[in-house]
Amino acid sequence: MDTSILTNNGVDINKGLELLGDMEMYNDTLRDFLTESETRIPNIINYFNNGDMPNYAILVHAMKSDSKYLGFDKLAELSYNHEMASKEGNVAYVGEHIEELLTEANRIIALIKQYLG
């Protein structure tokens, strides 16, 4: 697998390797991230649409943590901002920035799929 697909698109693989040990574990964790995203992304949208900020906060927190482990720095930062806003009940912030969060999440998902083949 060609890691340049990830590194040339802003993924800090070295950060992931520090935490996960080796490429096999990193790749397994990428697969888990993809599987999680299949339900996580639609649930994030549903919780937002229903104004359920407590559950929204839980999911963006999980996405932030996973993103940090895997070296998705921008997605981790965006997820963190959404986590803090949703915990504060700042629905306006979440509404203004949810497209940016989803766009970055989908960009990362597409990169992982391309990388894993």
**pLDDT classification of 1: cutoffs 50, 70, 90:** confident
Digit-coded pLDDT (tens) for 48-76 = 999 999 999 999 999 999 999 999 999 99
What is the CATH number for 23?
1.20.120
Digit-coded pLDDT (tens) for 4-63 = 999 999 999 999 999 999 999 999 999 999 999 999 999 999 999 999 999 999 999 999
Query: Can you give the pTM of this predicted structure?
Result: 0.95
Question: CA separation (Å) from 41 to 14, 47, 56, 92, 115?
Answer: 26, 10, 10, 19, 20
CB atoms within 10 A of CB 8: 10
Cβ(63)–Cβ(105) below 8 Å? yes
| Tally of domains within the chain | 1
Q: Residue 68: what pLDDT?
A: 95
Domain residues for 62? 4-116
Q: Residue 50: what pLDDT?
A: 97
